[in-house]
Amino acid sequence: MSLADFFTFDQPPREHQYVFRANEQPDLGRHGLRLLLIGASVPSRQMRLLREQYAPGASSGEEPIVHAEGEECGLVTRGAVELTVDGSVSVLNAGDGY
């Protein structure tokens, strides 16, 4: 069971749901970092979309976030984020994506 599945286990499955309201997005984050899972109630979903909100100065932690499979992308909508991928550090500003 994945971490996302663990935190959304009690979500009733909804096969044909296409809209996911803000109050239907469980928070998987911690320590000033909100990771809101969009589409948590879709069974056997093939994509995981997170709405990430970082408090000023927040970090995802000392241990890198590693994905065994799939890809990840993001778009900065406000503020700036320091992104490290394979040891390469980039500062992203509003409008930048990865």
* pLDDT tens, residue by residue, 8-36: 556 665 567 788 888 988 998 888 889 88
DSSP per-residue codes, 70-92: S----B--SSEEEEEETTEEEEE
Percent residues over pLDDT 90 in the chain = 20
Yes or no: say if 52 and 41 are a contact pair by the CB < 8 Å rule: no
Q: Which residue has the higher pLDDT, 63 or 80?
A: 80
Residue 77 pLDDT level (bands cut at 50, 70, 90): very high
**In the Cβ-directed half-sphere of 64, how many Cα atoms lie within 13 Å?**
10
Q: Which residue has the higher pLDDT, 94 or 20?
A: 94
Yes or no: say if 83 and 55 are a contact pair by the CB < 8 Å rule: no
